[in-house]
Amino acid sequence: MTQKFRLMRILPLQIGLGVFLAWLGLLIAQNGVVYAASSGQEQQPGNAVCLGCHQQPGQTMTLPSGEQLYVSVDPAQFGKSAHAKAGVACAVCHTDIFGYPHPQRSAQTIREYTLTYKDTCKLCHADKYALDSVHRQAFESGNENAPICVDCHNPHTQVQVTDEQGNLIPEELGKSPEVCAKCHNAIYEEYIQSVHGEAAQQGNPDVPVCISCHGLHKIEDPTTAKFRLASPKLCGDCHSNQEMMAKYGLSTDVYNTYVSDFHGTTVTLFEKTSPDQPTNKAVCYDCHGVHSIRRVDDPQAGLEIKQNMLAACQRCHPDANENFPDSWLSHYTPSPTKYPVVYYVNLFYKFFIPTVLGVMGVLVLSDVGRRISMAVRRRSKGQNQGSKEKTQS
Amino acid sequence: MSEKTQRYMRFDVAQRIEHLVLILSFTILALTGLPQKYSLSPVSQAIIQALGGIETIRVIHRTAAIVFVLEAVYHVVVLGYKLIVLRLEASMLPEFKDARDMVEWFLFNLGLRKEHPKMPRYNFMEKMEYWAMVWGLLLMALTGFMLWNPLTTARLLPGQFIPAAKAAHGAEAVLAVLAIILWHFYNVHIKRWNWSMIKGTLSREEMEEEHALELEKLEKGMTPVLPDPETKRRRERVYFPAAALFVLASLFLVVRFVTLEETSITTLPPAERLPVVVRRSPTPLPTRPPTPTTAPTAEGAAAPTTWEGGIDRIFAKCAACHGTAGGLSVKTYADLLKGGKDGPGVAPGDPDASQVVIKMRGAHPVKFSDAELQQVIDWIRAGAPEK
């Protein structure tokens, strides 16, 4: 009797395994493309079966830790998700929850429960698993709170974020900081008040959101020397883009002028010759802020206001006085009105160098000319003498 | 010794060593300075990498600069000794004759004059170089000081003098290097290899061409008159302490120059000060609504009393599982009456014998709301009418 009972209990698991293997075969046959059908397959419960119960809102399951695991799925929201649209059945991911009553779960906490799905996404999204990310590193170094796929992408609600061409849909891009905010809320709060964050919230697709700089799935550690050295290029990518900057009346010279000034030269050289070397030479974000970048005319933090600029200088040059900020050309090319002393020094040398070298060159050339003509004369003289001697003999 | 093979002394060993020090420091300054000015060129980057990176190159550059300045201090001391103690002729001072020599030399080169000018111990070519060097040294030292000590500079001058100093320092360097290549290399290496800074002497022919006036003096036996030992000693007693003071003052200035200010912090500037991980309080998840939407009372209508009159809608959600689960189907009235493996779903007139009610009161995972269950019980008690 007990034997039979046990068999009956594992029967759904056996069926499930069979279905799963069949589905995996299908997956491989279809070259990795995600199409999981929920209907037409024997024995696999359709989504309707699961939703029959789970569509009721507010259902929870109490875990041994006392935490409430939310087990409801809103069919309307699920219907909009990329998974629903691709026909991915509940059972594709929830491979162990066939039949009723559902098998007992061993997870003690919500986190433990979530982590049981750590490798589930790999079935279809193996390419993303291959990427090295600061989150993955954190997880592998033992931090179980480091995000796994489902912490960012709720599989029941995650909509398709790319269009047919595979480009991120601007609207989704604009919403993406909310995802990061789940764990990085302090930075998020600062970001949404920045010039970029404000515009991103209004749906402007030009401004950077978190992933524009930090990357997607392949999130690099932003505290390394390498990231620091490469960061000006990150800003320069957009801020040198004429088409984009023209919309906002911004200069496209900020990167070039940075590179040709004190800090930028060193940083650029480091980046090229020793990209892992730490440097304290200022990069864009040391003055403009990391996530708190404001407009340059912002009264509190804008660098166009001298006191703000001085405060920025003093972060690295504590003894700087109020003259000191002018030693930085503020991304301007010197002109008679902007940094005239620099402009006129350059102008002076523009004429002085050719004049000095020109005088020297003329004198040198005259000397060369004389020496050549003398040599020619001496040779022809010698030949003449030689021929004379011949005739005489 | 015949006239032709006669050698004429130009520079003593000390002067030649001085020149060597100058060559070394100048070359190092140029090699480490120009790549900084043209830092984006691949040639510069190759040099920078070969010399150990930009930070190392700066240290080398500044070390060479100090050597250069110390060399200048030494030069001034020796010059002072020659002019003040020995009272030698200040043969490096430019004169009007030098300008005339230059014009005449040029005309001679063009074939417009028969004779080249007779030139003194230091001809106009050498004076041009010497004074260009003096000017360059002063300008480079001054602008170099400003770049080395920008905070101090900004206390004395408007801030833009610092980038202006950088512009001048770089442009002057280009001028100096090009002048050395064009003028110095041509005049002492290319047109004829001049051995005077290595062997110390020139031949009679070379003297005749470049220092004819000096040659005449030498041949007339006009050697500089040196002071008698007594006068010399008297002058030295004044000069040596003065020179020592000058050297000490110079050394003090150089040390101050190098150690004047801590321009910047040596640590990394703080990047993001905010804590990286700050969890957001999660949005509360939806809770079970107070009245089920499927309950007809919620719609404000009277409680259903027949299967077709609304009881079927209460059972609609069960159909997701109970198409087959437990052998029970709730899709039709007849199926519900028939029931599943545990018996009839509904026993008309007897709620307590109806499996639906038993299961709802038991461990079924999904439950009717209290209102729904009451409606179903009332309906069964009334004989579970279909229509």
At A21 the pLDDT is 55
Q: For residue A176, what are the CA distances in angstroms to A68, A135, A197, A373?
A: 27, 17, 11, 79
Under DSSP, is residue A29 helix (H, G, I), strand (E, B) or coil? Answer: helix
Residue A36 has pLDDT above 50, yes or no: no
Choose between A21 and A109: higher pLDDT. Answer: A109
At A18 the pLDDT is 56
At A320 the pLDDT is 93
Phi, psi angle pair for A61, to nearest 5°:
-130, 130
The ipTM value here is 0.77
Asked if residue A129 is part of any domain, the answer here is no
Measured CA to CA, the distance from residue A173 to residue A190 in angstroms comes to 18
Are the Cβ atoms of B317 and A56 closer than 8 angstroms? yes
Q: Is A108 on the interface with B (CB under 8 A)?
A: no
Q: Is A337 on the interface with B (CB under 8 A)?
A: no
Confidence at A25, pLDDT banded by 50, 70, 90? very low
In the structure encoding, which two tokens stand for residue B16, read together? 């030649």
Are the Cβ atoms of B151 and A324 closer than 8 angstroms? yes
In the structure encoding, which two tokens stand for residue B62, read together? 């500044």
**Residues of chain B below pLDDT 50:** 1, 291-300
Q: Is B181 on the interface with A (CB under 8 A)?
A: no
For A280, the closest of B265, B274, B286 (CB atoms) is: B265
Phi, psi angle pair for A11, to nearest 5°:
-55, -50
The residue ranges of every structural domain in chain B are: 7-259, 296-381
At A393 the pLDDT is 46
Q: Which chain B residue shows the shortest CA-CA distance from A69?
A: B285
Q: Which chain A residue shows the shortest CA-CA distance from B187?
A: A364
How crowded is residue A233: how many other Cβ atoms within 10 Å of its Cβ? 16
Choose between A370 and A301: higher pLDDT. Answer: A370
Asked if residue A98 is part of any domain, the answer here is no
Contact A103, A16 (CB under 8 A): no
Chain A partners within 8 Å of B45 (Cβ): 269, 272-273
Contact A46, A38 (CB under 8 A): yes
Q: From the CA of B174, how many Å to the nearest CA of chain A?
A: 8
Alpha helices in chain B, H assignment, sequence order: 13-37, 42-50, 54-80, 96-109, 124-148, 150-156, 161-179, 185, 204-210, 212-219, 229-259, 312-316, 333-338, 355-361, 370-381
Helix axes A262-273, A225-239, angle to 10 degrees: 120
Residue A9 has pLDDT above 90, yes or no: no
Q: From the CA of A170, how many Å to the nearest CA of chain B?
A: 24
Count of positions (residues) in chain B: 387
Give residue-wise pLDDT tens across range A180-227: 999 999 999 999 999 999 999 888 989 999 999 998 888 999 999 999
Q: Which structural domain, as residue segments, surrounds residue A352?
A: 338-362
Q: Which of A71-85, A340-354, B267-281 holds the top average pLDDT?
A: A340-354
Are residues A240 and A263 located together in one domain of the fold?
yes
Asked if residue A388 is part of any domain, the answer here is no
Percent of chain B beyond pLDDT 70?
Answer: 91
Chain A partners within 8 Å of B158 (Cβ): 323, 326, 341
Contact B67, B60 (CB under 8 A): no
Asked if residue A262 is part of any domain, the answer here is yes
Q: For residue B384, what are the CA distances in angstroms to B160, B328, B339, B340?
A: 96, 18, 14, 18
The last residue of one of the domains, among A331, A352, A386, is: A331
Are the Cβ atoms of A367 and B325 closer than 8 angstroms? no
Are residues A279 and A233 located together in one domain of the fold?
yes
For A183, the closest of B272, B277, B321 (CB atoms) is: B277
Choose between A146 and B301: higher pLDDT. Answer: A146
For A183, the closest of B39, B279, B325 (CB atoms) is: B279
At B306 the pLDDT is 86
CATH number, span B7-259: 1.20.950.20
For B109, the closest of A181, A325, A366 (CB atoms) is: A366
At B320 the pLDDT is 60
At B371 the pLDDT is 82
Q: From the CA of A36, how many Å to the nearest CA of chain B?
A: 20
Residue A14 has pLDDT above 80, yes or no: no
Asked if residue A393 is part of any domain, the answer here is no
Asked if residue A314 is part of any domain, the answer here is yes
Look-up of token digits 């043969």:
B91
Confidence at A164, pLDDT banded by 50, 70, 90? confident
Q: For residue B251, what are the CA distances in angstroms to B73, B79, B139?
A: 9, 18, 19
Number of domains, chain A: 2
Look-up of token digits 């290399």:
B185
Average pLDDT of every residue of chain A: 84
Beta-bridged to residue A68, according to DSSP, are: A62
Are the Cβ atoms of B278 and A185 closer than 8 angstroms? yes
Are residues A315 and A343 located together in one domain of the fold?
no
Are residues A270 and A348 located together in one domain of the fold?
no
